Structure 1
Amino acid sequence: MDRSTAKLRILLILLLLSSKCVFFPLIAADSLNYDRLSKMPIDDLFDLSESYKNKNLLDSSLGCYILLAGRYYDKMPSTEKYLCAKACKEAGIAYYYKYNYTKALDFLRQGVKYCEENDIPELLPSLYNNIGCVYSSLNDFRISINSFEKGLTISRELNDLTNEKILLTNLACHCSNENIKEKAELYNRELMEQFGQEDSTITFYVHLNRGWLMYNDSCYSRAVACLNQALDYARKARLAVAHESVVYETLGALYMNIPNKRDSAYYYLKTNCTFAQEHHLLPNLRNTLTKLAECYEQDGQKDKAMSYKIHYWELSDSLLDSNKFNQAKSEHFLYQMEQDYEKIKRLNQETLEKEEQIRTSRIQLLCSLAILLIFTVLTTITIIQKRKLHRAYSDLFHRNATILSSEEENRRKHARQEKELEHAKEVIRKLTIEKDQIQANPLVTPENERADSIKTTSPNIISDEQRKSIQARLEEIMENTDEVFDCNFSISRLSELVGTNLHYLSQIINETYGKNFRAFINEYRIKEAQRRLMNTEKYSNYTIKAIAESVGYKSHSSFITLFRNATGITPSLYQQLANQQKNKEQ
Structure 2
Amino acid sequence: MVVFLILINTINVFSQEKIDSLQNKTYIELADAFFNEDDNKDTIAATSYATYFLDKAKKEDFLERIAQGFNLLAHIHKGQDKLNYLDSIIQYTKDANLKEYPLEAYIHKTGYYYAKRDLKKALDNCIQANLYADRSDNENQKIRTKFRIGLIKTRLGYYEETLEIFKDCADGYLKESSDNSYLTSLYAIADTYRHLKLLDSASFYNEKGIKTALSKGYEERYYYFLLNEGANQYDKNNYQKSIDYIDRAIPYLQKINDKPNVAMGYHFLGKVYKQLNDNEKSELYLKKVDTIYQETSDIHPELRSGYEILIDIYRKNGDTEQQLLYIEKLLKIDSLLKSNYEYLTKKLTKEYDTPKLINERDIIIKKLENKNIYWSISLLITLAAFGVVLVYNYKRQQINKKKFEEYLSSQKRIDKPIEVKSDELLISQDIQDHINRGLEKFEKNKGYLNDSISLNSLAKQLHTNTNYLSKMVNHYQEKSFGSYINELRLEHTIERLKTDLVFRKYSIKAISEEVGFKSPESFSKAFYKKTQLKPSTFIKQLKKEG
Q: TM-score, normalised by structure 1?
A: 0.41
Instruction: Work out which of the two has the higher radius of gyration on C-alpha atoms and give 1 or 2.
Output: 1
Normalising by structure 2, we get a TM-score of 0.44
